[in-house]
Amino acid sequence: MVATTDSSTGTSISIRADDEFPVNRGQMCIKGFNAHELIASPERLLNPLKRVDGQFVEIAWAQALDEIADKIKTIQTAHGRDAMSAFGSGALTNEKAYLLGKFARVALGTANIDYNGRYCMSSAAAGQNRAFGVDRGMPFPVEDIASTGCAMLWGSNLTDTLPPIMQYFDTLRARSGRVIVVDPRRTETARQADLHLQLTPGTDLLLANGLLHVAIDEQLIDLSYIESRTNDFAAIAAIALRSHPAYVERLTGVSLDQMRQAVRWLAETPSMILSGRGPEQQSKGADSVSALINLMLALGKVGKPFSGYGTLTGQGNGQGGREHGQKADQLVGYRLIENPVHRQQIAEFWGIDEADLPRKGKSAVELVDACGDDVRGMLVMGSNIAVATPGANNVKERLASLDLLVVCDSFMNDTAELAHYVLPTQQWAEEDGTVTNLEGRVIRRRRVIDPPASTRGDVEILCQLAVRLGMAEKFAFTTAESVFDEFRRATAGAPADYNGISYDKIDQHDGIFWPCPAADHPGTPRLFATEFAHPDARARFLAIDHRPAAEEPDDEYPIFFTTGRYREHYNSGAQTRKVDILVRSKPEPKAQLHPLLADQIGITDGERVVVESRRGRIVLVAHVTPEIRPDTIFAPFHWGGRQSANILTNPALDPTSRMPEFKICAVRVRQVDAT
Amino acid sequence: MAKKHLVIIGHGMAGSRLLDELQSRHAGTRYRITVYGEEPGAAYNRILLSKVLGGADPDTIRMKAETWHPGDDVTLVPRTRVDRIDSANRLLHLSDGSTEPYDIAIIATGSRPFIPKIEGSVLADSSPKPGVFAYRTLDDCLQMRSKLRPGDSAVVLGGGLLGLEAAKALADNGLHVTVCHLMPTLMETQLDETGGKMLQRQIEQQGIFVRCGRTIAAILGCNQVRGVRLDDGTELAADMVVLACGIRPRVDLAQASGIPVNRGVIVNDALATAVPGVYALGECAEHRGRVYGIVTPIWEQCEALADILCATGSARRYTGSKLYSRLKVAGVDVASMGVVKPELASDQTIQIFEEQRATYRKLILREGKLIGAQLVGDTAAAGQLVQLFDRNTTIPLNPLEALCAYSAAGGSTGAALDRQVCNCNTVNESAIVSAIKQGCVSVEAVGVCTRAGTGCGSCRSQIVGLIREHRPAAAATL
């Protein structure tokens, strides 16, 4: 986007889409188009707040930082270093993500740091790492969508969640390419598709295995590709052959006819599967992603032109956010904290003893769950965990039981309300930095307006806290670029290698795709053409079979509940619910349900319904529409309080990715008045 | 505490699946497991046998990859039959004469093909007459395959699922194929007369001849099949006779061991036989008077028994399965679930018969719930119907809606579907469509007329879609 300062006042900005930029090419979503409202919002926090006797009072920065540092020391002296924790975000720039990771491991010396990307990209990341040996959301640029033959959008409602990308699908269709959508809802994206597989929630993995069965049955698999570029096909083939269409139809609700059509289209031309959070946010999310990748490997598509598997990142820096060490098991450059070689490299780089580098810590849900027990303090940056975490009622209790909760944000939100200190930060147009987009393209974010003088950037806050914790020399950063320069060197030789990238180089080339190991390297827009990142350069099939969701509907809670986004809102809505036009367009969350279900409970469109799970209940206005399966209720997760969808959701975790099961739980629904 | 010794007798689809289910519940922590199988090699997927007949490598239908290893807690013993279970002493008597102690035994011996007594089907020394085949095992298929010659003639006895699959595979190999079926219509356990006849017409169009209401009275030829004589006296030349007359549970082990048997080995809801420590499941077992011959019920039995034995659900009980068959018979898609015909006077039947399209769809309802359905030719609604059937969901007041996509069903209480397309300028679909109909057939023109798409631009692709859908016919040719 292009943001320009209003020259008359110098305090507000205007926004337009950048026609030249190769990703969105002149288009922008309504959230971006209105993001300027946030800069000048009257609700913006301008001074540090401290909670005193249940009320927030404004205090000076020095006092706030001194007190926070003292409390950190007190907690760590009494309960150990791991008692202090940090919680980051896929909305942070690469520089902040790196610095927060370094701050946690070096200044706090704690193992306990994780981030909200755990709720977002962790399953896709795990699936890709297992299959390809590397995780870059999309292994090709988005423009390749327009040139493929068939694009299968699996559990993604792009029209609402990434509208500027839809233009590539328009081009694809104009070229007579095909679009297949897999979604329990007939979303706008599904309506525009050539084929819509309206599957039962939680059966993505089985559907993918069923498609593989059909592909084998119809002899559409690419045996020479399987032979020359992959390992371990036989075991998944045996499972796929057991996934007989009759069994798959029963559980998925998708007819064999549609499966056959989908597989034929995928097989006959260049094709790609792009997954959204649908298959990923499940207690079998990583395995579901593996099932999608298995299918594309068997069809011989991965690494071929305009073909393969990719995942559509949600947050602005969903990709970069997971590469630079704010995840419990990772270090900068997508290194692994339990890998002895990686540990040694980074300990040396940071100038610390390898033994002092913490080990793998708790994942997001587990971290929040430990609050008040062995975790006593938390620093939150760029995330509204009180709304974003499943089993939200319990989460608030947990956060409230901390000895120290510090929230860095530009606005008050549900998490900040529970904090002991709230530190007012700077916004996107007020800071420099880089983000890595869904394609693995590293791009700039530029400062175009001066922030309010009383606010501070996250980089500055972390450095000043580090000084107070006695780590001044390791946090002597003055600019975002200086942080970038340190972390790009830290990634040299790592899986996500940024070493050859600089701010200047990004500016010259509309962004640089990693890996880019050297200053004279052009970057890597397309991966896997000749080799995968495993030591033997082959991709790996993973033998995974269907298993039920952690909580399936039963007599007591007979309906599936699933969550997702509105086009107008972002994450917990902490920012977008403050933008007038977005609120006017989508003022409240609605429970989407089918007329057949509405008939059963005796409600009509616009009436209020009580939706309850084993974990809590919410009251929402009903949106009665045939565009959802009759056995499923959908609600968006952007609201907090009594409208918080995550009061209902199930904190069951994926054993590999530690992703919570946002997409499936069991609920019951009734009229508000009925007893 | 020492691990108990659990033995699975039979390494077919049921035994193999049970082993998977046990292992996924970490059964190795409490049991040492032994699996006895009579056939050599790994268990295979019987449903896919016709592929092998059609030429596929037998290894491609194995349940497990060649590299599969069951793990340290499991011993596979191939080519070994269990002759008797001495349940008082907890000893298995094996075909090699040895004995083996056990703690828990599970009979999964499956079924054997039913071979009717037909004049001339065996030689003087009682060995099968060359050219006569049962269609049941991998070995049967491989033998049959080795004898196939294009131009030969084959008669298949049995017009059920297996017989028709065999017939198709033979026809694909260039044989002249006739199916003889004793009942008046094909696949009578899955289809009513109308459906069976439609299927027959379709199959005949594929070049397979069908004779219903007929059986083989005698197989002709001295030392080799030369033809058959049907029960009406007609003689047909044939180089090969394939018997696909259904299956019978294999209960000899249970009988020899004093375990109560009716048609199958009798089990209760815990899949236990009357003899302590001995369970049975799969095609050899009879549960609540029913013996199952299709795969899903058997998998459900495996899950239930694994839950019970691994204490992951000791209170779990198997209460019976709902039947769903799905197949492609000679290129015709067929789906069948539940009852084939109405049973009570109050049962409601909906039939859609489309001669030109060669499709037949039938629903049978009881008190607003789906108790049976058959689809021939058009099975697009199968996935949806089988879920309504499985879950016993009340179906729409207009039952035809159950054959449509959800988005076409039950519109009565829904909101008007006038979606907001352009959020920036709050323009609804109806306004855009009306502009398109008045001649605004480009995104720009729609924008000028309605302001839609002139904000952030992210709805432009939706507008393109609406233009494609709604533009006046004259404009479409431009």
Tell me which chain B residues have a C-beta less than 8 angstroms from the C-beta of A146: none
Task: Confirm or reject contact between A616 and chain B (CB < 8 A).
Answer: no
> B430-462 burial by CB neighbour count: b if 16+ within 10 A, else e?
ebbbebbeeebbebeebbebbebbbbbbbbbbb
Whether the pLDDT of residue B347 is over 90: the answer is yes
Total Cβ atoms within 10 A of residue A494: 23
The domain defined by B132-245 carries CATH number 3.50.50.60 = yes
Q: Do the Cβ atoms of A192 and B465 come within 8 Å?
A: yes
* pLDDT tens-digit series, residues A111-135: 999 998 888 888 999 999 999 999 9
The total number of residues written for chain A in this structure? 675
CA distance to partner chain B, nearest, from residue A234 (Å): 5
Q: Which residue of A has its CA nearest to B384?
A: A253
The pLDDT confidence band at residue B477, using thresholds 50, 70 and 90, is very low
Task: Confirm or reject contact between A622 and chain B (CB < 8 A).
Answer: no
Burial zone of B7 (CB within 10 Å; 0-12 exposed, 13-18 middle, 19+ buried) = buried
Residue spans of the domains in chain B: they are 4-112+248-310, 132-245, 324-470
Residue B327: what are its φ and ψ, rounded to 5°?
-155, 165
Which CATH number is associated with domain B324-470?
3.30.390.30
Which residue, A296, A671, A670, A20, is CA-closest to A1?
Answer: A20
Which CATH number is associated with domain A49-119+317-513?
3.40.50.740
The pLDDT confidence band at residue A84, using thresholds 50, 70 and 90, is very high
Q: What average pLDDT does the segment B399-413 reach?
A: 70
- Percentage with pLDDT > 90 across chain A: 76
Q: Where are the beta strands (DSSP E) in B50-97?
A: 74-77, 82-86, 91-94
Whether the pLDDT of residue A349 is over 90: the answer is yes
Burial zone of B72 (CB within 10 Å; 0-12 exposed, 13-18 middle, 19+ buried) = exposed
Whether the pLDDT of residue B124 is over 90: the answer is no
Task: Confirm or reject contact between A518 and chain B (CB < 8 A).
Answer: no
Report the SS3 class of residue A86: strand
The pLDDT confidence band at residue A34, using thresholds 50, 70 and 90, is confident
Specify whether the CB–CB gap between A301 and A333 falls below 8 A. Answer: no
Whether the pLDDT of residue A225 is over 60: the answer is yes
> A556-589 burial by CB neighbour count: b if 16+ within 10 A, else e?
ebbbbbbbbbbbbbbbbbbbbbbbebbeebbeeb
Q: Do the Cβ atoms of A258 and B383 come within 8 Å?
A: yes
Best of A590, A596, A629, A632 to substitute, by most chain B Cβ atoms within 10 angstroms, is: A596
Specify whether the CB–CB gap between B302 and B18 falls below 8 A. Answer: yes
Task: Please give the structure tokens belonging to residue A338.
Answer: 């339990």
The highest-level CATH class for domain A122-311 is alpha beta
Element holding A385 (H helix, E strand): helix A385-388
Residue spans of the domains in chain A: they are 2-38, 49-119+317-513, 122-311, 559-671
* The CATH number of domain A559-671, selected from 2.60.40.650, 3.20.20.70, 2.40.40.20, 2.160.10.10: 2.40.40.20
Specify whether the CB–CB gap between A512 and A499 falls below 8 A. Answer: no
Whether the pLDDT of residue B416 is over 60: the answer is no
Range of A9-18, A320-329, B226-235 with top mean pLDDT: B226-235
* pLDDT tens-digit series, residues A395-449: 999 999 999 999 999 999 999 999 999 999 998 889 999 999 999 999 999 998 9
The total number of residues written for chain B in this structure? 478
Window 146-205 of A, Cβ < 8 Å to B: 159, 163-164, 166-167, 169-170, 186, 188, 191-192, 196, 198, 200
User: CA A499 to CA A156: how far, in whole Å?
Assistant: 33
User: CA B268 to CA B135: how far, in whole Å?
Assistant: 31
**DSSP secondary structure code for residue A28 in this structure:** B
* pLDDT tens-digit series, residues A134-189: 999 999 999 999 999 999 999 999 888 888 888 899 899 889 999 999 999 999 88
Which residue, A675, A43, A147, is CA-closest to A422?
Answer: A43
- The two beta strands, B420-422 and B427-428, are antiparallel
The pLDDT confidence band at residue A9, using thresholds 50, 70 and 90, is low
Burial zone of A674 (CB within 10 Å; 0-12 exposed, 13-18 middle, 19+ buried) = exposed
| Cα dihedral A639/A640/A646/A648 (nearest 10) | -100
On the question of a common fold for B4-112+248-310 and B324-470, the answer reads no
Q: Do the Cβ atoms of A257 and B412 come within 8 Å?
A: no
Window 448-507 of A, Cβ < 8 Å to B: none
User: CA B243 to CA B131: how far, in whole Å?
Assistant: 11
User: CA B4 to CA B6: how far, in whole Å?
Assistant: 6
Q: Do the Cβ atoms of B393 and A245 come within 8 Å?
A: no
The pLDDT confidence band at residue A7, using thresholds 50, 70 and 90, is low
- The two beta strands, B420-422 and B369-376, are unpaired
User: CA B11 to CA B15: how far, in whole Å?
Assistant: 5
Task: Please give the structure tokens belonging to residue A51.
Answer: 């909670």
Q: Do the Cβ atoms of A630 and B409 come within 8 Å?
A: yes
Specify whether the CB–CB gap between A601 and A671 falls below 8 A. Answer: yes
Total Cβ atoms within 10 A of residue B342: 16
Q: Which residue of B has its CA nearest to A1?
A: B456
Which CATH number is associated with domain B4-112+248-310?
3.50.50.60
**What is the number of H-type helices and E-type strands within chain B?**
12, 27
